[in-house]
Copies of this chain bind each other. A is one copy, B any other.
Amino acid sequence: MGARRDADKPHNHDACIDTAIARARTLCEERSVQLTPIREKVLQIVWRSHKPVGAYQVLDELARTHKAARPPTVYRALDFLIAEGLIHKIESLNAYLGCGEAGVAHTSQFLICRACGTAEEIVDPKLDQALDAAAKRARFTIERKVVEIAGLCSRCAG
């Protein structure tokens, strides 16, 4: 699992990025899919902070080193990274966030602070079970779960 840290606490973020990139390389290797330079660069850009980042922000960053970059360049990379479980899309913000649990089966659940913009991914089995139970009661077959809790993180509320 590596060193887990809360997204809203100060930390040496380079370690987050390095860990994420290293894990992504390993996972793509294992799965025989290509973490191409563009895809890796986009992953790095998304991981530059714990704040969800918009596709066009990614594009702006990417274009600094990759002049040919266009919207499809970015969306293709984002789609790949999502498919491989390396990033998540935050639906309520139309933005993207590095996945801190890449390679581990989990539901994405987020705490999104409107003040500092940070989104923390949480893994709460009870919550996950509650989702499953609610779906089961309605005989609903789950394919994807979106849980996004917006508000104020402890630092911003305190």
Interface status of A148 (Cβ within 8 A of chain B): yes
Q: Which of chain B's residues have a CB closer than 8 A to the CB of A92?
A: 91, 144, 146
**Count of A residues near B, CB < 8 Å?**
38
A-B contact pairs, 26 of them (CB 8 A): A92-B144, A109-B134, A111-B134, A113-B140, A120-B138, A122-B134, A122-B138, A124-B133, A126-B133, A126-B134, A127-B131, A127-B133, A131-B147, A135-B149, A138-B153, A138-B154, A140-B149, A140-B151, A140-B157, A141-B151, A141-B153, A142-B149, A144-B150, A145-B150, A146-B150, A147-B147
Contacts A127-B131, A146-B147 known; list 4 others, CB within 8 Å. A91-B146, A120-B138, A141-B153, A144-B151
